[in-house]
Structures are given as C-alpha cells and as structure tokens.
A and B are shown apart, each in its own frame.
Chain A
C-alpha cells in the first residue's frame, strides 16, 4: 500500500514519488500521513518533512506551505523546499546565527516573529542537511 506524494513550489516540482508514509511539520504539530487518510487541508510551518519508502527514509527541508491530503495522494504546496543534497549547510548555519543574534539582542526594526520564523527555517535545513552528511560519512549504518 503506498501513497503518491507531490511536493511543488512555485518554481518547480521538487518531489513526486510513491511513498509509504509522510511525516510533515503541521502548524499544530507533527503530522503523519498513511494511505487512506481522511481528506485534510492544513498549513505547514518550516521544518523537516520526512518520507519513508521501502526501508529507506528521506527528508526534505521545507519553509512553510500547505498540505493537502486525499485518500490516495498527498500534495505539498511549499514556499520553498530542498532535498537533503541541495541544502547549503554553510548558508543555513549563517542564517541560523543571524536569527539567533536578533533574538538575543533585539534591535529596533527587526520583527521578532520573523526572526523566529527565519530561525525555524534555518534549523530545519540544518537538520536535513546534517542527516545526509552523517549518512555519507558512515556508510552502511542507518
């Protein structure tokens, strides 16, 4: 039993495959979707979207968007989405530091909510990117 997952952004189709389970970062918490899920529409926050297919697990960094679930398919309308191999770790690290800096020393003109959102996005990308790096370094261990 599998479910078709499409991840699209305004710029491109990022991912389109049959998968076994999707775990998405919903605004109200992590959300696991299995085949035959009841129709659902929800907003996503920045985070890690995990997918299991066969015995393999894959993760993508998404920075907010929408999730539509139908019994046979899941569609993610992401503001931006990156596969693990596309994440630029150095850039994400820099973004994270910058966001933390704002939160620790709030400066005039910087929106706290936006800094928090930026931090969440950076952390999500780091998580996804780091995971891939670990896997590459220790082949065979998962």
Chain B
C-alpha cells in the first residue's frame, strides 16, 4: 500500500507541475486585462460583484479513506467555513468522502462528482466549472468558493477554502503592462479567458487534492506498517516468555516427580 501510494503520489505531483505554465500564463494575461483602464464599458459578468445572498462551495475530497486525517481535516474546514459565512449555501461535492459528509449534515447538494479516478483529464473536470459558471451568471448564486487540500509537501497537506467567483483580478498578481493589440478586442479576449481561468483553478485543485490524498495515504500506510512491526515484536516477546515459563514449569513438575520417587 505504501509503495502504491508513493508511485501514485509522484504521478499526481508531476501532473500538477505539467499544468503550471498554463496557469501562470493565464493568470498573467487576466491580470493584464484587468489592469486596463475601464472606460465606461460593461464589466464582464464573472467579474461583477453582487451582494451576497447565496453561495456555493465546491468541496473537493478523496473518494477513499485510509489516508490519515485528510478527509476529516477538509470536511471540518469546509463545515466551519459554511458556518462562518452564515448565508444559505449549496454544495458541489467532488469526491465520495465529502459527499457522504455533506449528506449526513443534510446540506443542499447541487451536484456530485465521484470516482473521477487517480488521473482525471481536463475534460472530466469541465462539467464542474460549467455548473458554477452557469449558476453564477444566472444569479442563482453570488459567490463560489473552492475547498480542497493543498499539497504543501509529502508530510504536510493543508485544507484551504478560496474564493473563485467572482474572479478578483486584484488577487492575481503579475500584471506586466505590456501594450498589447487585442484581437478582436480586449473584452472578447477577456470573455474567453475568464471561464478558462475558472476551469483551470478547479482542475488544479483536483490534482492537488489527489497528490495530497496519495501522500497522506503513503504516510498513513508507513505508520501502519511500523506500528504493526512494533506490535509483532512486543507480541513475540510475550509469546516467548510464556513459552519459556510453561517449559520451566513442566521441567519442575518432572524433576519434582523424580525427586518424590527416589
């Protein structure tokens, strides 16, 4: 189990890294576009802030257990976030562990995506962003948050909750202020990029969650193996002691019997 988790973790990490150039680029371009002077043009719907009346949370968890405190950590983090916000909320559950948790709590579940596998493709994750983008533009929800387990290192995974809609360009760093020609126009380019940006964030969160899950499982399995080893050592010692004792007792019986006879 430990070995399997290790190799899966490595693969998940590689996939996370492979998409990094894309995510850095798209961030930069959106930051550039958002930094353009706003001359009376209508703000793109995904950028528009509205008063908060209802929010959605995309809750990304593993499908399986046996990975230490990871599931409990992310579920607790999400639950306390929902309580803090104190507004009606709906849930998009990605992963069975989170889905079960939300069901037990009786939360409203807008959609569920389970068993995406250890290596979900970009296409597999698109329906998730489709739902939240549509709901947001239709005004059903006024904010969307993304809850997942961030992969910090093999030993450390941190549950986080981040806002993804409305897109907040101020939070995206890296504007470079190059004077671009936009074709067909800056608004059209931005309108094309924003949904991609949301899709990409979700895809990455899922990859990170998988990497976290696998490394947490690897550590959990290693601990299990070590604990079992210690347990076996202890039990072997007890067993040997007991065996020795019984032999000694029998020997005493025999020699006692012999002594009585002579």
Measured CB to CB, the residues of A under 8 A from B are 6, 8-13, 26-28, 38-43, 66, 68, 70, 75, 77, 79-80
Contact = CB atoms under 8 A, between A and B. Distances in A.
19 contacts: A6-B21, A8-B22, A8-B25, A10-B19, A10-B199, A11-B19, A11-B121, A12-B19, A38-B181, A39-B180, A40-B181, A41-B29, A42-B184, A66-B189, A70-B178, A75-B25, A77-B25, A77-B26, A77-B29
A79 B129 CA distance: 15
Contact of A68 (B19, B29, B200): B29
A79 B184 CA distance: 18
Interface string B133-168: 000000000000000000000000000000000000
B77 interface: no
B21 A13 contact: yes
Nearest to A79: B196
B212 to A, nearest CB: 19
Given A8-B22, A11-B19, A42 B178 contact: no
Contacts of B21: 6, 8, 13
Given A9-B122, A13-B21, A27 B182 contact: no
Q: Is the interface of A mostly helix, strand, loop or mixed?
A: strand
Interface of B: 15, 18-19, 21-23, 25-26, 29, 121-122, 178-184, 186, 188-189, 192-193, 196, 199-200, 203
Nearest to B200: A10
A72 B184 CA distance: 22
A33 B122 CA distance: 29
B122 A42 contact: no
A41 B19 contact: no
A79 B200 CA distance: 11
B18 to A, nearest CB: 4
Contacts, number: 70
A12 B182 CA distance: 26
Given A6-B21, A11-B19, A13-B21, A40 B188 contact: no
A10 B183 contact: no
B228 to A, nearest CB: 39
Given A10-B19, A42-B182, 19 more contacts: A8-B21, A10-B122, A10-B200, A10-B203, A11-B15, A26-B183, A27-B183, A28-B183, A28-B184, A39-B179, A39-B181, A40-B180, A41-B182, A42-B189, A66-B189, A66-B196, A70-B178, A77-B26, A79-B196
A41 B181 contact: yes
Nearest to A67: B183
A10 B186 CA distance: 22
Contacts of B26: 77
A65 B182 CA distance: 14
Contacts of A26: 183
Contact of A66 (B181, B192, B200, B203): B192
